Structure 1
Amino acid sequence: MQTSRRHFLQLAAAGGFVASPLAALAQERRFAPQPGTWRTFDLTKRVDVNMSQGATRVWLPIPSIDSDWQRVGESSFATNGKATRVSDGQDGAGILLVDFDAGIQQPYVELTTRVQTQSRATDWQRRMPAGMDAATRAHWLRPTSLIPTDGIVRDTASKAVGDAKSDEDKVRRIYDWVVGNAWREPQVRGCGEGDIKTMLETGNLGGKCADINALFVGLCRSVGVPARDVYGVRLAPSAFGYKELGSNSASLKGAQHCRAEVFLRAHGWVAMDPADVAKVMRQETPTWIKTVNDPVVAPVYKALYGGWEGNWVGYNMAHDVALPGARMGKLGFLMYPVAEDQQGRFDSYAPDDFKYQISAREIKA
């Protein structure tokens, strides 16, 4: 595997990926999300706390991003506890906090939020210079507990970008480096932890979206390009037939997915998702695909540099999340339901024990 990945990087450094004769003979799949069509969903999370010992507290992430690719509507909830809408206080992550007294039988909360989403695709020929004030720029360049920007992270990024000078050239090379060196590891629990320093120090770059996209974000930040993870959940199947790039709307408890954005001076915030390229390479077919030239991977590799499909909703962009009222420590990120009782924090990666369900219903015009 290491030999094939080095070859992959040599192709990247040479200025692109050269399709093999075998790949050229195959029929390339289509994956070309384009903005312009808004979709409306009701996203519902339900928690039935069946493991609690005494008083229990639950935190549910609420979609909190309004942008040119997402609109957040009203939220409503039902519960036999005491619910309050709060924020993380740093990155604007919306949270529904619910307290259950020890005497409450069968504690539950059900939260529904209406969201509208659309696909994204950057027009690289259309340059629209965008500015960013110093404080905002510093915020999206900052190190976090899981995403440092010095040491091995900066050294790795410097080697990846080489002699690149512009922010666009740096991001292109980092994207190719991450796709060429990191890989999807299905055995990782949940979406991974996103501890990029450990990944680089151990040389184990296998992981899931919270690992691979955090690696991309950290490498970008370390060479002066503002970047951020966007944490959310897939809402529906892919319109392009990729089973790994969509979800079953009736059961989304395992459909959490984070994406990434970078800020480019000529384009503003731009969508990125190297983790989903890795997912298609590893899991879309029975055979692990090792090259982006493969007709299954090629359109995904191209489209997810600057775009993504609008069958997904973003909750927040928060790191080092201090949950209001929590007894336990900060979270690296907030993408799953969280709960605590007197015994400690529940395992958010075990929805059937917790227990919680997530579903989405598309609202047709």
Structure 2
Amino acid sequence: MRKSLKFVLLLGTVGVLMAACGNKASSNVESTAKGTEQSTESVAATEKSTEKATEKAEVSEKKMVEGTVNNTVDLSKYEKGKKVRLWIPVPQSSEYQTVEDVKYDAGNAKAEMNTDDWGNQMLYVEWDENAEPTDRVVKLDLQVKREEIVSPELKEDEKAELPEDVKKYLEPSKNLPLNDQVKNKAAEVTEGKTTDLEKARTIYDWVIANMNRDESVKGCGEGDVCALLDTTMTGKCTDINSMFVALCRASGIPAREHFGIRINAEDITKNQHCWAEFYLKGTGWVSADPADVLKAVLKNNWTKDQAETKEKQEYYFGNCDAERMILSDGRDLTLNPAQDGEALNDFGYPYAEVDGVKLDNYTPDQFVYTYSFAKKA
């Protein structure tokens, strides 16, 4: 009987110990599970934090340029008794640039802000025959913030319809005709290419391979595409980028040029620049600047095949630096009010007439005008 009782007591003790161990094990499992959950949550939080940090870093890597632009025009060198009219291109805010606090001082002269049929903004100033020559001075100041264009993912949707406001960039202009010469060259360059993106990239690469920058060209060049095809295939930014635009249009791809000025120094009087964009259905406007690639080749004495050139070539197809400001768009322009002279090839410079005769706006020291830029610290 005592043995049986001891056995029962022993079994009971063992049972209690097993239950206690079981509870402890269960507690350990639950603790481990909770730990795993917390660890998983921690990893997820870390991943989210890393994603946000990466996004923030990508945003911060996009370069910005901000500062004050001053444009002074002095037409006092022309004698009294002449009617003098002046048009100054005034930049506007757009997708990648913000223009604020535009101010001007034209003294007692007639002055007004106008826009032309292309939507370009301009300051128009007029002095009659009785004005004192020393009064013919105008100052224009503005604040600008320019953002670097970072290439988006280039997606093409061939079934998409072109927006109405884009269709005009398929039309020819005086120096960018869509004649047989231009169409045949476009067909030759893009042979075997089927999509607009393939064609645009092929034209871009062809322009870089077959054109060269010529420092002797006046201003930014005239961008006379047929003359370029007939002769040396050399020029400056308007010549080089006009070739790109004309061949794109001849291939059925809308393309345009921006005329502006670089904001990369204190004295930017002679820093005018022209660059291009093409329209890709499914993406929108895409930047392209073969002229800046060829400028880098010339200035740095690079070959077109070396790594530095190829790096620039990749960058300027889709990307665009922040050190530039758009002044105007379009070719064959009629200003507002209309000028007496012929249509403007472009409006990247101040334009003036004395008694109805155009001044040479490619020579700022004769015109006379200056541009300056004070970068914000």
- Bin of the TM-score, shorter chain as denominator length: 0.7 to 0.9
Cα distance, 1:111–1:270 mapped onto 2, change above 3 Å: same
CA contact (8 A) 1:129 1:268 kept: no
| Within-5 A mapping of 1:155-304 | 155-200=184-229, 202-236=230-264, 248=265, 250-283=266-299, 285=300, 287=301, 289-291=302-304, 293-304=305-316
Cα distance, 1:190–1:233 mapped onto 2, change above 3 Å: same
2:341 pairs, out of 328, 341, 344, with 328
- Percent sequence identity over aligned pairs: 29
Are 1:355 and 2:368 matched, yes or no?
Answer: yes
In the alignment, the residues of structure 2 paired with residue 182 and residue 127 of structure 1 have an alpha-carbon distance, to the nearest angstrom, of 28
Cα distance, 1:270–1:35 mapped onto 2, change above 3 Å: farther
Higher RCO (CA 8 Å, separation ≥ 6 residues) = 1
In the alignment, the residues of structure 2 paired with residue 219 and residue 78 of structure 1 have an alpha-carbon distance, to the nearest angstrom, of 42
How many residue pairs are counted as aligned between the two chains?
313
Counterpart of 2:220, as a letter, is: C
2:73 pairs, out of 27, 47, 64, with 47
Per residue, is there more helix in 1 or in 2?
2
Shift in Å at residue 83 of structure 1? 1.1
Write the deviation string for residues 166-221 of structure 1: whole angstroms up to 9, x where unpaired.
11100010001100111101100010001112111x23210000111011001001
Q: Secondary structure at the match of 1:217?
A: helix
Q: Secondary structure at the match of 2:307?
A: coil
Write the deviation string for residues 77-127 of structure 1: whole angstroms up to 9, x where unpaired.
0112221111122x1111111111232231100111222111112133x64
Write the deviation string for residues 297-320 of structure 1: whole angstroms up to 9, x where unpaired.
222111001111101111121211
In the alignment, the residues of structure 2 paired with residue 35 and residue 56 of structure 1 have an alpha-carbon distance, to the nearest angstrom, of 47
Q: Secondary structure at the match of 2:275?
A: strand
Cα distance, 1:307–1:321 mapped onto 2, change above 3 Å: same
Shift in Å at residue 36 of structure 1? 3.5
CA contact (8 A) 1:51 1:353 kept: no
Q: Is 114-123 or 273-282 further displaced after alignment?
A: 114-123
Write the deviation string for residues 3-25 of structure 1: whole angstroms up to 9, x where unpaired.
xxxxxxxxxxxxxxxxxxxxxxx
Are 1:93 and 2:120 matched, yes or no?
Answer: yes
Write the deviation string for residues 112-160 of structure 1: whole angstroms up to 9, x where unpaired.
1222111112133x64869554532320100011111231111111111
In the alignment, the residues of structure 2 paired with residue 96 and residue 132 of structure 1 have an alpha-carbon distance, to the nearest angstrom, of 36
Return the index of the structure with the highest Cα Rg.
Answer: 2
In the alignment, the residues of structure 2 paired with residue 187 and residue 74 of structure 1 have an alpha-carbon distance, to the nearest angstrom, of 37
In the alignment, the residues of structure 1 paired with residue 239 and residue 116 of structure 2 have an alpha-carbon distance, to the nearest angstrom, of 22
Shift in Å at residue 38 of structure 1? 3.4
Cα distance, 1:34–1:339 mapped onto 2, change above 3 Å: farther
Q: TM-score, normalised by structure 2?
A: 0.78
CA contact (8 A) 1:320 1:332 kept: yes
Counterpart of 2:375, as a letter, is: E
1:79 pairs, out of 97, 101, 106, with 106
In the alignment, the residues of structure 2 paired with residue 113 and residue 321 of structure 1 have an alpha-carbon distance, to the nearest angstrom, of 24
User: Which blocks of at least 5 consecutive residues in structure 1 are unaligned?
Assistant: 1-32, 237-247
Cα distance, 1:56–1:312 mapped onto 2, change above 3 Å: same
User: Which blocks of at least 5 consecutive residues in structure 2 are unaligned?
Assistant: 1-58
